[in-house]
């Protein structure tokens, strides 16, 4: 029986790979995943067999990886950040009952909410929630409701997928929904290409962010009512100082 390792690579630079991720990758005979992510780690494992696919076709990609494991070959499927956060871990676990001859091991990685927060300071120092703005697999009405509830709960909010190739205005729509409840001066941050070439960090207000440009390599942070800007950092205090 082969093992399919579902491995979160962290945001990009191999220095963010965990020790467990490195071990799983070195055990695997075959590396598979979306081309961009496989290329990030390929230099570390130049001799491995590679199987890459385009962005869509997720189920087909999972089935191929499970087939490889079932045939007795240890395989690693790589994802950016953590494989369980808008990644391949869920479909792999869902499909596993069809592959009694394969074992699966999920290896956690540093998700963009955490690597991005570290660049900003401590925006997630108190309760927070994570919402993807992609309506490819989730109805926009559901996303809108979750944004409203997060604002009503005064959570710090981390937004993934603030733009896609076919839609640039997700972030503007999200800011408009949040502004129904939240102050326009709410402290926000945007981080782009974390751990990759061109990494950038920006601190701004919620009203400024409504007009800001995001792309699919951006992760967005929206403060709670307690979030403050301190120099170049953002902090959501938990109250240790009071
Ligand atoms: N599994 C990934 C998330 C995949 S969804 C994780 O745990 O991080 C894709 C979204 O993740 C992007 O639109 C962006 O919002 C965020 N993201 C992933 N990698 C990023 C990076 N290196 N820099 C900034 N944002 C990133």
- Please give the number of the atom of ligand 1 that sits closest to the Cα of 192: 24
Higher confidence at residue 91 or residue 40? 91
pLDDT of residue 79: 94
DSSP state of 42: G
pLDDT of residue 164: 87
Q: What residues are in contact with ligand 1 under a 6 Å CB criterion?
A: 11-12, 79-82, 85-87, 111-112, 116, 160-161, 191-196, 216-219
- Which residues does 54 contact at the CB level (< 8 Å), separation at least 6? 34, 35
Give Dmax over CA atoms of the chain in angstroms.
59
pTM given for the model? 0.96
pLDDT of residue 54: 61
Residue 55, pLDDT above cutoff 60? no
User: What would the pLDDT profile of 157-215 be if each residue is shown by its tens digit?
Assistant: 999 999 988 888 999 999 999 999 999 999 999 999 999 999 999 999 999 999 999 99
For residue 112, the CA-to-ligand 1 centroid distance in Å is: 5
Q: Which of 117, 160, 198 to mutate to test the pocket of ligand 1 (most atoms within 8 A of CB)?
A: 160
Report the distance separating Cα 89 and Cα 18, nearest Å: 17
Where does residue 129 rank: exposed (0-12), middle (13-18), buried (19+ CB within 10 A)? middle
Going by pLDDT thresholds of 50, 70 and 90, the confidence category of residue 52 is: confident
User: What would the pLDDT profile of 129-167 be if each residue is shown by its tens digit?
Assistant: 999 999 999 999 999 999 999 999 999 999 999 998 888
Q: Which of 10, 12, 112 to mutate to test the pocket of ligand 1 (most atoms within 8 A of CB)?
A: 112
The answer to whether 115 and 227 have CB atoms below 8 angstroms apart is no
Residue 53, pLDDT above cutoff 90? no
Total residue count of the chain as it appears in this document: 242
Asked which of 38-42, 77-81, 89-93, 151-155 is least confident by mean pLDDT, the reply is 38-42
pLDDT of residue 51: 84
Q: Which residue's CA is minimally distant from atom 15 of ligand 1?
A: 160
Question: In the chain, pLDDT over 70 holds for what percent of residues?
Answer: 97
Q: Once rounded to an integer, what is the mean pLDDT over residues 25-40?
A: 91
The answer to whether 235 and 203 have CB atoms below 8 angstroms apart is no
Q: Which of 216, 219, 221 to mutate to test the pocket of ligand 1 (most atoms within 8 A of CB)?
A: 219
The answer to whether 27 and 74 have CB atoms below 8 angstroms apart is yes
């Amino acid at each position: 029986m082969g093992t399919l390792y579902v491995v979160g690579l962290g945001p990009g630079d191999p220095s963010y790979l965990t020790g467990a991720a490195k071990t799983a990758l070195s055990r695997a005979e075959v590396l598979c995943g979306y081309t961009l992510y496989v290329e990030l780690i390929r230099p570390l494992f130049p001799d491995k067999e590679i199987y890459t696919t385009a962005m869509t076709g997720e189920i087909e990609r999972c089935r191929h990886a499970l087939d490889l494991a079932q045939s007795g070959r240890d395989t690693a499927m790589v994802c950016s950040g953590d494989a369980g956060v808008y990644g391949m871990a869920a479909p792999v676990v869902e499909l596993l009952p069809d592959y009694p001859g394969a074992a699966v091991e999920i290896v956690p990685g540093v998700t963009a909410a955490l690597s991005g927060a570290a660049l900003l300071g401590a925006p997630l120092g108190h309760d927070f929630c994570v919402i993807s703005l992609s309506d490819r697999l989730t109805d926009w009405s559901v996303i809108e409701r979750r944004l409203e509830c997060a604002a009503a709960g005064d959570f710090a909010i981390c937004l993934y997928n603030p733009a896609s190739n076919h839609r640039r205005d997700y972030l503007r729509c999200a800011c408009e929904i949040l502004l129904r409840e939240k102050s326009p001066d709410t402290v926000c941050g945007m981080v782009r290409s974390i751990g990759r070439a061109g990494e950038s960090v920006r601190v701004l207000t919620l009203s400024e962010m409504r007009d800001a440009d995001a792309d699919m390599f951006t992760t967005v942070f929206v403060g709670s009512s307690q979030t403050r800007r301190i120099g170049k950092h953002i902090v959501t205090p938990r109250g240790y100082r009071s």
